[in-house]
Structure 1
Amino acid sequence: MFAATRQSSRLARSFSTSARANTRVAVLGAAGGIGQPLSLLLKLNPLVSHLSLYDIRLAAGVAADVGHCNTPSTCVGYGPENDGLKKALEGAEIIIIPAGMPRKPGMTRDDLFNANASIVRDLAQAAAEVAPKARIGIIANPVNSTVPIVAEVFKKAGVYDPKRLFGVTTLDIVRASAFLSGIAGTEPKDTNVPVVVGHSGPTIVPLLSQLPAGKKVVEQGGETLAALVKRIQYGGDEVVKAKDGAGSATLSMAYAGADFTDSLLRAMKGEKGVTLCTYVESPLYKDQGVEFFSSPVELSSEGTVAKIHPVGDLHPTEQKLLEACLPDLKKNIAAGVKFMSA
């Protein structure tokens, strides 16, 4: 339905463009399990001219390592000493935040919230002070709550622009593409599933019916459909279990984060019609108390929100999933707002 929603296949075709831009990107949490491969992928993107990598430790080492890749962009690492965070943010046009504790076996999203809320708040406060006009992509979980935290921080600083704040839900689209193409026998690059609502368990709603390969699975229903939807929603659990408690979905998340960033960069470079599913302040379900929502979003030439598309026609099973999870999403958003009012 949304032909331009193709971020899931963009990296698969590689960063092949020869065009280059003067764009500074900051990664906050660059030495973590997501941050390191994300930094590497961004170093390979010709639309990035400078990478600022920040973490509480080891960011300089990551920058030195990634900096040896023979691509034109420069790369500098910063730690918390000597106002390193503020220095990392100076001049940043895009800020990606994968910082925070990864999910471990048995951890709930509430557990993650308690661990990561203050980390995201502190990083957002620095961004609001130093780079208030940057486009910010939040990877730190739980995204349903951390994005509202960042919004509240920027509101308190008097610099909030909802068009510049994004929750990175790209991994859901990447997984939906990979899993559906495996069942349907289609090419992943041509299997672009819109995934809407939020970014945790039941709030992840893949709209399989909106492309031919997915429509067949939806119409057949049964165990195949149920298993596919569950796998898309809980793919993170699959990775945590497979890694036997030694890690979470870091590599696939880094891939998705780099793909998300590439969408912003391409829009900023002048590509028209760049559209991606992402979690933003949205009017779609605001009348139900849901102020943030993921749906296809078209980007402006500045890499900001230009148009928020509705979810479109839904199969009854998809409509049921969407309606059932809105109360959970509302609670997730409220938790972020409450944290900032405490």
Structure 2
Amino acid sequence: MVKVTVLGASGGIGQPLSLLLKLNTTVTNLALYDLVNTPGVAADLDHINTPAKVKGYLQKDNNGLEHAVTGSHLIVIPAGIPRKPGMTRDDLFKINAGIVRSLATAIAQFAPQAFILVISNPVNSTVPIVAEVLKRHGVFDPRRLFGVTTLDVVRASTFTAEISGAVSKDVTVPVVGGHSGVTIIPLLSKITPKHEFTHEQVAALTKRIQFGGDEVVKAKDGAGSATLSMAHAGARFAKAVLDATVNGVAGIVEPAYVYLGAVDSGNQLKATVDGLDYFSSNIELGFYGVRNIQPLEDLSTYEQDLLRAAIPELKKSIDKGVAFVEEASKQKL
């Protein structure tokens, strides 16, 4: 049995993400949890002729969250409020941090061996929140915790192909750092297939990749943020993790925001990024999750400047997440 759980399954990301996971034939059980509507979403999805059996759980159900996560191989967390016009990812922190902490507590208690994929923004802070909760329960395995940054890579492929003329699905642009604003560092010098951009194009593309989410928020005119593209990115990364941890596929490399102390290669990268505990880079996936974290090598001068600008912002976000859990723990004493 391969059980996958979506926490926040009735939302703008959660519903299309659940649909895409239902289409993944590796999944045999799909558990959907949210405050409202999950039984209906589950009934709708369960009519699709793929192997996964779908069940919806509600917060008001007797131990609904516990039942949703128990026995899960992989848990995806898109729960939280979406961005609205004029709202930064940091503005989301106060509300989403509390939601993520509660969900992480349930995972620590009832599914400590699950692979955890965090989509809830701000990812730069919510991943450290999940880690700190798991640590306090003595079940933190850093190889199994991921912040999903795949959307940044998807956008980079799309936006660069518009200029280079390449087919976007064949374009790969490594994107490192974090998952908001200036912490998103597209390494355009390492694009494949190779393409030479002018300095002006690099600057414009970098800004568009960093703030691509704002285009969607503005276009939706108050009706939401990037939900469909984020669902695609979440499903793509979930498939990569399932292929590596269930199907035994070797050599899978995907970007993710992870705890750098998870493996030795991460500790080497940590020295390059001024001792940050969390950073997004290309990750090789294996049976236990993170197998290898790729280093930062041969960055252009422009990319080195981007890295220097990102590091202090990442540090603030990481510290904010850690401090949130610390403060919440004190209030319970």
| TM-score (norm: length of structure 2) | 0.93
Q: Secondary structure at the match of 2:257?
A: strand
Query: CA offset at residue 23 of structure 1?
Result: 1.4
Q: Does 1:301 align with 2:301?
A: no
Equivalent residue in structure 1 for 2:5, among 26, 33, 45: 26
Distance apart, 1:221 and its partner CA: 0.8
Instruction: Tell me which of 143, 160, 177 is aligned to 1:197.
Output: 177
The aligned amino acid for 1:251 is L
CA–CA distance in 2 between the matches of 1:241 and 1:195?
24
Deviations 1:60-98 (A, max 9, x none): 111111111111110000001200000001110000000
2:46 aligns with 67
Q: 1:311, CA displacement in angstroms?
A: 2.1
Distance 2:171 2:292 in 1: 23
Structure 2 distance, partners of 1:240, 1:113, is 17
| Equivalent residue, structure 2, for 1:243 | 220
What root-mean-square deviation, in Å, do the aligned CA atoms of Structure 1 and Structure 2 show?
1.1
Tell me, yes or no, if structure 1 residue 78 matches structure 2 residue 57.
yes
Conserved 8 A contact 1:208-1:214 = no
What is the letter of the counterpart of residue 282 of structure 2? Answer: P
CA distance in 1, matches of 2:159, 2:175: 13
Q: Partners of 1:41 and 1:323 in 2: how far apart?
A: 37
Aligned pairs (5 A) from 1:129-278: 129-213=109-193, 215-217=195-197, 220-222=198-200, 224-268=201-245, 269-278=247-256
Distance (Å, rounded) in 2 between the aligned partners of 1:114 and 1:108: 12
Counterpart Cα distance in 2 of 1:73 and 1:142:
30
Aligned length: 317
State the shift of 1:271 in Å: 0.6
SS in 1 for 2:316: helix
> What per-residue deviation string (whole Å, max 9, x for no partner) do you get for residues 203-260 of structure 1?
000011112556401xx212x2222111100011000000111110000000000001
Residue 280 of structure 1: aligned partner? 258
Counterpart for residue 17 of structure 2 = 38
Deviation at 1:110, TM superposition (A): 2.3
Aligned to 2:88: 108
Give the distance between the partners of 2:324 and 2:100, measured in 1 at CA. Answer: 11
Structure 1 distance, partners of 2:162, 2:106, is 43
Whole-angstrom CA distance in 1 between matches of 2:50 and 2:166: 33
Cα offset, 1:288, TM superposition? 2.2
Q: Which residue of 2 aligns with 1:16?
A: none
Identity in percent: 58
3-state SS of 1:299 partner: strand
The normalised TM-score by structure 1 is 0.91
Residue 320 to residue 128, structure 1, CA distance change in 2 (3 Å): same
Distance in 2 between residues matched to 1:285 and 1:205, nearest whole Å: 16
1:180–1:214 CA contact under 8 A, matched in 2 = no
The 3 A distance-change label for structure 1 pair 68 and 105 is same
**Letter of the structure 2 residue corresponding to residue 290 of structure 1:** L
Q: Which runs of 5+ in 2 are unaligned?
A: 261-266, 328-333
**CA shift for structure 1 position 301:** 2.2
- Contact 1:143–1:167 (Cα < 8 Å) also in 2: yes
Shift of 1:107: 1.0
The one of 44, 67, 73 equivalent to 1:87 is 67
- What is the aligned counterpart of 2:302 among 305, 317, 331? 317
The one-letter code matched in structure 1 to 2:293 is I
